[in-house]
């Protein structure tokens, strides 16, 4: 099996060189992507392929359920390198429908050591339970996938790395997308943030697009807690 991968690699390298003889020379000299992709580790969601980008055009960080938290130095270091050294202009947090991590958090399924990591997604579920619990199971999972992306976009935007970049006038936008395994299409969740004063409002407006059980008559205190970034 490993030999097949090596054979595939040689065929890909030869085809790429034939199409663009200078491709690998340019790639070796400099990494200069405009985009950063923060996605799930799921093998069915290859960032370059589904966006039609070549190697070197997107800087990628992946983990289980595309989570970004302020205690994860791995993610924050990657974001800092992308923002401060590569000068990316766009950061995309990309979830996907059918995410096993989101499903585990939604259903309370034990998967092992990753249960501790998925507590972050579980917290998103608890925070927005009044927008989830009245839905059918499949819709619950799909909506939690979207809400998890929205939450992580807020986390990226509120990170010291992104806040500092905006403070010094750097052009940088954070976006939230979800990928459909069934149709191969990306969905824009309309939560783009490109300056610090819009983060909380964009987050709040996005969450309000999901109906709550009980509708507008729900207590105001519950509504405020439900829409909090924290």
**Catalytically active residues, by annotation:** 40, 42, 44, 96, 99
First to last CA, the chain: 46
In this structure, what are the phi and psi dihedrals at residue 54, rounded to the nearest 5 degrees? -80, 165
The residues, ordered by sequence, that sit 6+ positions from 193 with a Cβ below 8 Å of its Cβ are 153, 154, 157, 173, 174, 199, 202
Q: Which of these, 117, 112, 176, lies nearest to 146 by C-alpha position?
A: 176
* 3-class DSSP assignment, residue 61: strand
Whether the CB-CB separation of 174 and 129 falls below 8 Å is answered with no
């Amino acid at each position: 099996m490993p030999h097949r991968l090596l054979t595939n690699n040689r065929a890909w390298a030869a085809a790429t060189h034939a199409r663009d003889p200078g491709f690998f020379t340019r790639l070796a000299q400099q990494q200069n992507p405009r985009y950063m992709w923060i996605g799930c580790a799921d093998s069915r969601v290859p960032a370059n392929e589904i966006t039609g980008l070549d190697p070197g055009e997107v800087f990628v960080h992946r983990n289980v359920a595309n989570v970004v938290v302020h205690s994860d130095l791995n993610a924050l270091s990657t974001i800092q390198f992308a923002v401060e050294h590569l000068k990316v202009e766009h950061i995309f947090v990309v979830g996907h429908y059918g995410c096993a991590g989101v499903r585990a958090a939604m259903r309370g399924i034990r998967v092992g050591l990753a249960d501790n990591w998925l507590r972050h997604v579980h917290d998103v579920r608890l925070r927005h339970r009044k927008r989830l619990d009245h839905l059918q199971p499949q819709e619950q999972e799909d909506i939690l996938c979207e809400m998890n992306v929205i939450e992580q976009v807020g986390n990226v935007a509120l990170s010291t790395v992104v806040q500092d970049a905006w403070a010094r006038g750097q052009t940088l936008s954070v976006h939230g997308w979800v990928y459909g395994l069934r149709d191969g299409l990306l969905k824009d969740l309309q939560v783009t943030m490109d300056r610090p004063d819009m983060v909380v409002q964009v987050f709040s407006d996005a969450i309000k697009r999901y109906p709550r059980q009980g509708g507008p008559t729900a207590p105001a205190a519950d509504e405020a807690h439900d829409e909090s970034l924290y």
